[in-house]
């Protein structure tokens, strides 16, 4: 088999536990986690992955202590500034999904700057899910479609899967082939609900700051051995 996923999505989890294990503050875990992001992005591009989507901040993460939220926002700004050159050098295009409006203006500004500067890169697309929630995404799509139906722009009978996809934040992304979650938790945590419908799930106990490019390679090899049947029988796929 040995097929390669076109779209890999990662729930980068375990920064806080990593820091706690070392007797450090949670934020030190986020700092180290940012180093992992750099290594994983580089390796994914090197492996020829077309789309890498990283869960950086969920709509639920606003419920964390204010100090942690503020530090995470600062880390985002400094990482975007620092890694901007890496994206250019590796021909990576940066995109984002989520509700950018309620992010601090500096984060929004930096993000939009890097998105603009990398928009004509045609290597890997790196999508940051920022202030992203899968339920919110679907809710917003439903509202937008309902408005169009009300204004007779679309007829209800014409609403199909592609109408929904066109109204999602993730409208430009293909379905997720492989979802990786680190830290031993085995849940979706409101990530890409629509696009994960038929994803292969890969869970590892490794905490995100300890996750290496070899760990990514291992996940890709594991994916390559799986048979994706999409409801068909195994025999149908081989004939």
**Per-position b or e across 1-40, b if 16+ CB within 10 A of its CB:** eeeebebbbbbbbbbbbbbeeeeeebbbbbbbbbebbeeb
Residue 211 binding result from ligand IPE, Mg ion, none, given CB thresholds of 5 to 8 Å by partner type: none
Stretch that binds Mg ion, among 6-14, 19-27, 57-65, 229-237 (CB under 5 A): 6-14
Select the residue whose beta carbon is closest to ligand IPE and give its number: 16
Residue 13 annotated among the catalytic residues of the structure: yes
Q: How far is CA 173 from the centre of its chain?
A: 10
Binding range to ligand IPE, per CB under 6 A, among 43-51, 57-65, 75-83, 100-108: 57-65
Interface with ligand IPE, residue 56, by CB under 6 A: yes
13 binds Mg ion (CB under 5 A): yes
Catalytic residue at 177? no
Strand order in the sheet with 178-181: 93-97, 125-132, 51-58, 7-11, 178-181, 200-203
Q: Would you state the torsion angle of the CA atoms of residues 104, 106, 109, 111, taken in this order, to the nearest 10 degrees?
A: -80
**Residue 55 interaction partner, one of ligand IPE, Mg ion, none, beta carbon < 5-8 Å per kind:** ligand IPE
Q: Which of 13, 43, 137, 177 binds ligand IPE (CB under 6 A)?
A: 13
Residue 151 CA from chain centroid, whole number: 34
User: Could you tell me where the DSSP H helices lie in the chain?
Assistant: 15-21, 26-46, 66-89, 105-117, 134-150, 161-166, 213-224, 234-238
CB of 12 to ligand IPE, least distance (A): 5
> How near is the Cβ of 95 to ligand IPE at its closest, in Å?
17
Residue 145 or 180: the one with the smaller Cβ distance to ligand IPE is 180
Q: Which does 17 bind (CB under 5 to 8 A by kind): Mg ion, ligand IPE, none?
A: ligand IPE
Residue 149: φ, ψ to 5°: -65, -45
Residues with catalytic function: 13, 61
Positions touching ligand IPE (CB under 6 A) are 11-17, 55-58, 61, 72, 183, 185, 187, 189
Positions touching Mg ion (CB under 5 A) are 13
């Amino acid at each position: 088999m040995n097929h390669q996923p076109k779209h890999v999505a990662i729930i980068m989890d375990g920064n806080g536990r990593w820091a706690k294990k070392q007797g450090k503050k949670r934020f030190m875990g986020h700092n180290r986690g940012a180093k992992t992001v750099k290594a994983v992005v580089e390796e994914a591009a090197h492996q020829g992955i077309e789309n890498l989507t990283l869960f950086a901040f969920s709509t639920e993460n606003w419920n964390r202590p204010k100090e942690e939220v503020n530090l995470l926002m600062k880390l985002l700004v400094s990482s975007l500034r620092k890694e901007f050159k890496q994206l250019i050098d590796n021909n990576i295009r940066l995109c984002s999904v989520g509700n950018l409006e309620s992010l601090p203006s500096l984060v929004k500004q930096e993000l939009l700057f890097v998105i603009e500067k990398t928009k004509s890169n045609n290597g890997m697309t790196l999508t940051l899910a920022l202030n992203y929630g899968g339920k919110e995404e679907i809710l917003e799509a439903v509202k937008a479609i309902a408005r169009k139906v009300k204004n007779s722009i679309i007829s209800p009978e014409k609403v199909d899967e592609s109408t929904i996809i066109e109204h999602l934040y993730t409208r430009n992304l293909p379905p997720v082939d492989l979802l990786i979650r680190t830290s031993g938790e085995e849940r979706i945590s409101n990530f890409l609900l629509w696009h994960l419908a038929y994803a292969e799930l890969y869970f590892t106990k490794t905490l995100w700051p300890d996750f290496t490019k070899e760990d990514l390679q291992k996940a890709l090899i594991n994916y390559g051995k799986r048979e994706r049947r999409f409801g068909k029988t195994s025999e149908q796929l081989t004939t």
